[in-house]
């Protein structure tokens, strides 16, 4: 087994270990955790058919109550999903030395690396990732597969082309469910595609003989509007259901349902909806026997666009804005320093409270 201390942070990843126990650097078993629960009854995860006649109502309810839901009849061909999955597998199956040739470096957000949230946690995750940036994908694929780089790029582009309108449609449906008219939506940033930015992140969670001691991707909320998630059918995504009538906080495993994609609500959709939609805390666990692969497609505002609660949701009867506006970049920075207190720090009441305390 490699000594964790001798391994550079960037290559602290499981493929390097020859072990018969989990190195302390990756062992999360002493850290506080919540119990796990099955996705049944009140803990179930909604499955929404995008052809459902009650679609808008169902989307609104799922965004409010769950913050995560599965979609079927989403329009992305299973055959494309299979080819996409094969390319993700092909990427992570490359030897570590090859993947490191396209490692993310300070200042670039593209390429191979550990979990972007790793600096927030005391232990390493059982994880490797690949951040896709259109500008550098071609060059990086050429380094990874000098003789056949185009098949990777072509499939990634094909998938992005298919998932982009789906992401826009979901956000549009969310605003309809909040009661906005088509005309009002056109006047929001969601109605203006030039104000929307997207990003894609590929994730691999190698199988681990001691899955209960490790964490694939540690608990977090996504910062953008929504994330649409493909995975390779290996169970592992869990969402945190907080204290409520049915008991203490628990991790609910998102079921694997063939031909569905997962949709997560992020922080900025929570802000935009003035706290109505639930930005769900989620994590990935690791399988004992199978590598888990996933791809998150994130939609958020362009980095210089400020997002606050929709003015259409304010008024004498509806209430006051809960949050001050922020850009996606500001929120990501806030989260890297304040962690799960970042949104609290943007609360308009919270700010007044802080000023009062300071006075």
Active site residues: 292
Half-sphere exposure of 273 (CA within 13 A, CB side): 28
Q: Rule CB under 6 A: say whether 220 interacts with ligand L37FFZMX.
A: yes
> Among residues 191 and 224, whose Cβ is nearest to ligand AKG?
224
Sign of torsion over alpha carbons 15, 16, 19, 22: negative
Binding mask of the shown chain, residues 53 to 92, with x at each position contacting ligand L37FFZMX by CB under 6 A: ----------------------------------------
Q: Rule CB under 6 A: say whether 305 interacts with ligand L37FFZMX.
A: no
Q: Residue 123 binds what, of ligand L37FFZMX, Fe ion, ligand AKG, none (CB under 5 to 8 Å, by partner type)? A: none
Binding mask of the shown chain, residues 123 to 162, with x at each position contacting ligand L37FFZMX by CB under 6 A: --------x-------------------------------
Long-range CB contact pairs, 14-22, < 8 A, 24+: 14/126, 14/127, 14/128, 14/206, 14/208, 15/96, 15/128, 15/206, 16/96, 21/210, 22/208, 22/210, 22/213, 22/214
Which residues sit at the interface with ligand AKG, rule CB under 6 A?
A: 201, 203, 217, 222, 227, 229, 231, 237, 282, 284, 294, 296
Q: Count of H helices and E strands in the chain?
A: 10, 13
Task: Report the nearest approach of ligand AKG to the CB of residue 218 (Å).
Answer: 10
Q: Rule CB under 6 A: say whether 292 interacts with ligand L37FFZMX.
A: no
> Among residues 46 and 321, whose Cβ is nearest to ligand AKG?
46
> Among residues 241 and 309, whose Cβ is nearest to ligand AKG?
241
Are the C-beta atoms of 110 and 136 separated by less than 8 Å?
A: yes
Task: Report the nearest approach of ligand AKG to the CB of residue 267 (Å).
Answer: 12
Task: Report the nearest approach of ligand L37FFZMX to the CB of residue 256 (Å).
Answer: 20
Are the C-beta atoms of 282 and 264 separated by less than 8 Å?
A: yes
Short-list 45, 56, 82, 100, CA closest to 251: 45
> Among residues 118 and 176, whose Cβ is nearest to ligand L37FFZMX?
118
Short-list 102, 93, 203, 200, CA closest to 156: 200
> Among residues 142 and 291, whose Cβ is nearest to ligand AKG?
291
Give me 207's structure tokens: 């199988």
Task: Report the nearest approach of ligand L37FFZMX to the CB of residue 318 (Å).
Answer: 28
Are the C-beta atoms of 343 and 326 separated by less than 8 Å?
A: no
Q: Residue 334 binds what, of ligand L37FFZMX, Fe ion, ligand AKG, none (CB under 5 to 8 Å, by partner type)? A: none
d(CA 148, CA 150): 6
Q: Which member of 7, 50, 56, 117 binds ligand L37FFZMX (CB under 6 A)?
A: 117
Task: Report the nearest approach of Fe ion to the CB of residue 227 (Å).
Answer: 6
For residue 129, list its beta bridge partners. 113, 203
> Among residues 23 and 236, whose Cβ is nearest to ligand AKG?
236
Short-list 176, 199, 203, CA closest to 188: 176
Distances (CA, A) of 132 to 58, 115, 275, 351: 32, 14, 30, 36
Task: Report the nearest approach of ligand AKG to the CB of residue 117 (Å).
Answer: 8
Short-list 288, 294, 352, CA closest to 91: 294
Q: Rule CB under 5 A: say whether 222 interacts with Fe ion.
A: yes
d(CA 295, CA 323): 30
Judged by the rule CB under 6 A, the positions of this chain that interact with ligand L37FFZMX are 109, 116-117, 131, 199, 201, 220, 222-224, 298, 332
């Amino acid at each position: 087994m490699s000594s964790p201390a001798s391994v550079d942070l960037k290559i602290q990843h499981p493929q390097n270990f020859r072990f018969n126990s989990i190195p302390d650097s990756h062992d999360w078993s002493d850290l506080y955790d919540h119990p796990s629960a099955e996705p049944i009854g009140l803990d179930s995860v909604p499955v929404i058919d995008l052809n459902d006649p009650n679609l808008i109502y169902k989307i609104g309810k799922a965004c409010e109550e769950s913050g995560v839901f599965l979609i079927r009849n989403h329009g992305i061909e299973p055959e494309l999903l299979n080819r996409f999955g094969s390319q993700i597998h092909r990427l992570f199956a490359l030897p570590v030395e090859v993947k490191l040739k396209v490692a993310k470096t300070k200042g670039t957000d593209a390429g191979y690396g550990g979990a972007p949230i790793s600096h927030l946690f005391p232990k390493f995750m059982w994880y490797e990732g690949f951040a896709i940036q259109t500008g550098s994908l071609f060059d990086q694929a050429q380094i990874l597969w000098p003789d056949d780089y185009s098949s990777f790029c072509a499939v990634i582009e094909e998938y992005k082309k298919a998932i982009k309108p789906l992401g826009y449609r979901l956000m549009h449906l969310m605003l309809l469910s909040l009661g906005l008219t088509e005309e009002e939506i056109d006047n929001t940033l969601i109605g203006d595609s030039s104000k929307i930015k997207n990003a894609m992140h590929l994730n691999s969670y190698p199988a681990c003989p001691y899955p209960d001691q490790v964490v694939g991707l540690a608990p977090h909320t996504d910062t953008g509007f929504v994330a649409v998630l493909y995975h390779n059918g290996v169970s592992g995504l869990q969402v945190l259901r907080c204290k409520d009538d049915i008991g203490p906080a628990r991790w609910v495993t998102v079921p694997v349902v063939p031909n569905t994609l997962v949709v997560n609500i992020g922080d900025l959709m929570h802000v935009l909806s003035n706290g109505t939609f639930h930005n769900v805390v989620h994590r990935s666990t690791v399988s004992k026997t199978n590598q888990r692969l996933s791809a998150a497609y994130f939609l958020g505002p362009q980095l210089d666009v400020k997002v606050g609660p929709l003015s259409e949701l304010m008024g004498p009867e509806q209430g006051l804005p809960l949050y001050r506006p922020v850009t996606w970049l500001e929120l990501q920075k806030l989260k890297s320093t304040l962690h799960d207190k970042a949104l609290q720090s943007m609360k308009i009441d919270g700010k007044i409270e802080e000023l009062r305390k300071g006075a």
